[in-house]
Structure 1
């Protein structure tokens, strides 16, 4: 009898343990299927498949959903707002909590009540993210929008402000009025203030006493007249985004440049103030791609032509360097000339030639960025193109036919041969003087 009881107890224990063991397996299958179904829903909205795993890793809360139907309804509501695809992907990545169906239904009703407010889809995207994080309801947004409209700005300015600086809906009306009064106090007319808010809406978030006033005082201390400062602010309000002391560092770099006179004349053709702003914009561009301020200033000092190039052109070269050539952005500190040469006529043809030779095993050594960019057109042609006629089409026609035609007699060329530039002690001292605040 005891044996029978022991046998039954043992059998029951085994059954329980086996049930517990197998009960841990099934949930994995539904979760896997859930992830596939969720991925399919997001891909229909344009979400890149390559980003899906990263998206789920950052948003574990989505894995706790038991009903995909709610998520599908939420996505349908978001699509009904006609938000641009890039903005929608950014919204889902940065604030996945907007997929809450109850939250979106409330906003769907609220937006339908806005009537003829002419609110762009991009504004809706920004406001949804902001309202989800800070618990702003449609009525609160409508009240803030009415306050902004009551200041007398046209619809285009309001739309641009809400697109570029959506946090304005969280500001009090008197804070915005103080900004308007500040610009009126320094002599900027109404149309100029509208232009400032339109081109640089982020200025609404800058403090007057701790940021804007000290910045304008710094410009005057650097020798610029109040009238000149006022005109430059209206011309390009991004100058108000400068940090304190940044303009002086930019001008310090410009005043120590060692470059050809025509390049320097073009840099200063619109005045020192504008030249300083152009330096700041290019430093910001380089830092955006992973460089620190000290490295960005060093690159501009060694390659002054960058001040004359458009930001889009610089970014195109950096993108090609990182994504196509597979170099780190840090190599620009050692080879700043890469950003100074022509993209279509020099960078791309040379890269195509080297890649072709690599694929055919014609190169015994690794060709670095310095060896790719620094040689003259003639030297590169003689080294990598002339011995391999099939590279002629990749490189392009060499007009001088490998240097048979000379522009000057040999003797005259020797007399006027340019000397290689080396940094003197004075140059190093000047460079340190304007880079000391960046250390």
Structure 2
């Protein structure tokens, strides 16, 4: 090294501002241009002390340790980055509290997935040992506990208020099965204070004249009976029942049979009864509809209207379908649902076709709909149909006409149709020789009868 280069080397150390690290050269550079260029490049050589990324490995390992699925972990932390700001030690304390409420890994995973806020120790620590005090003598399901925690954290409910409303239900004689049903379907009951819960109970008991056991049954089937503010609706509903001429015994009988009558809107039952009064059908069908009384008949109409509306038919069209085809009221609601599901998913027919062909819902599924569809579907697959057969052509024709049109020309379809198959032996309606029992008896004619007949014939001549 020359003396000039040595002098320049030592002089460079006298100005530290010109020194920057050069990873590629692994030496110091005194070029000011390079200094400017290199200083513009960020070097995240280390995380900040409070950076969320510092907790990523710790939180991930902790969740895996407690059974959280590894495949869902990345997506979960991506959606809930604020968890990376929490202390892993406090997260573990939160997990221990959740396991103390319900020692189940399935419960833990579902709870964390649906409500990640339960991992915040400050929000969950008040529940440590809380629900266990309620569970003495009862058995809350995992879904019930999960709903309690979700509602409480979402609305920041007071711990004592929540447990007070639940203990009030237990004191009123509500069974464990009913309590779980209420908490699983209507967890908002936990937002009510104990006094409001007791007021709702006393109103229903006094208004309908029922006991605690009967109230437990009503609450199990229709948990919304406890909804705050529903008393005003019940009062108007009871007044409407009285105006329609139904006494309290009839209402109570129907209430215990199906507590969902409390879900009726004011004015809904009168409209259903008006539909029934305007029916133009055979007396035998109308008699079967009113077999258990007008109240139940009107409520059955309401259920079927709701069923049709749930599948996309308007309210007006739903009433029109029932008026044109009242036999739908006599079929079980499950049978009606089955026919609609078959129409939509198997036959691939639009639901609006029921407005034009309501007879589809009024015929037997096994004897009428299914055999005809099998025949038409087979003919469609082999190209045996000249024109497309719609729902009207499938349902409207009589059995003999449908047989002559689509079954008789194709012998392989006779086994599908079944009704007029050549292999099916026609059974007699009555035993052989039974007609002799209905033959009128021949009474012997007396001499006087013969003389009267002869004189009558002579007068005609």
Larger radius of gyration: 2
Classify the secondary structure of the residue corresponding to 1:367: coil
* 2:204 is the counterpart of 1:145: no
Query: Are positions 1:261 and 2:278 aligned together?
Result: no
Q: Decide whether aligned partners of structure 1 residues 161 and 188 sit closer, same or farther in structure 2, where only a CA change above 3 A counts.
A: farther
Equivalent-residue separation in structure 2 for 1:81 and 1:164 (angstroms)? 21
Q: Counterparts in 2 of 1:190-209, with a 5 A limit? A: 190=211, 191-205=213-227, 207-209=229-231
Asked whether 1:318 is paired with 2:335, we answer no
Any conservation in 1 of the 2:201–2:226 contact (CA below 8 Å)?
Answer: no
| Selected match of 1:290 from 290, 304, 312 | 312
TM-score normalised by structure 1 residue count? 0.68
CA deviations 1:274-332 (Å, max 9, x no partner) are 11111111111111122221111111111111111111111111111112222222221
Paired position in structure 2 for 1:225: 247
Displacement of 1:162 after TM fit? Answer: 2.3
CA distance in 1, matches of 2:285, 2:70: 49
RMSD: 4.5
In 1, the alpha carbon distance for the partners of 2:171 and 2:240 equals 34
Count of aligned pairs: 362
Q: Does the Cα contact within 8 Å between 2:162 and 2:193 map onto a contact in 1?
A: no
**Is residue 118 of structure 1 aligned with residue 139 of structure 2?**
yes
360-369 or 113-122, larger mean C-alpha shift? 113-122
Instruction: Tell me the equivalent position of 1:181.
Output: 202
Q: Is the contact between residue 414 and residue 420 of structure 2 (CA under 8 Å) also seen in structure 1? A: no
Correspondence for 1:62: 79
Matched, 1:385 2:407: yes
Q: Contact conserved, 2:407 with 2:417, CA < 8 A, in 1?
A: no
Deviation at 1:167, TM superposition (A): 1.5
Task: For 1:363 and 1:63, locate their aligned partners in 2 and report how far apart those are by CA, in whole Å.
Answer: 59
CA distance in 1, matches of 2:389, 2:341: 20
Which residue in the other structure is 1:157 paired with?
178
- Structure 1 spans left out of the alignment, 5+ residues: 1-6, 17-40, 46-55, 409-439
For CA contacts below 8 A with separation 6 or more, give which structure has more relative contact order: 1
Equivalent-residue separation in structure 1 for 2:417 and 2:310 (angstroms): 34
Residue in 2 aligned with 1:360?
382
Unaligned runs of 5+ in 2: 1-32, 42-67, 430-461
Please name the residue that 1:278 is paired with: 300
Residue 385 of structure 1, CA deviation: 1.8
Look up the match of 2:350. 328
Instruction: Give the secondary-structure state (helix, strand or coil) at the position aligned to 1:145.
Output: helix
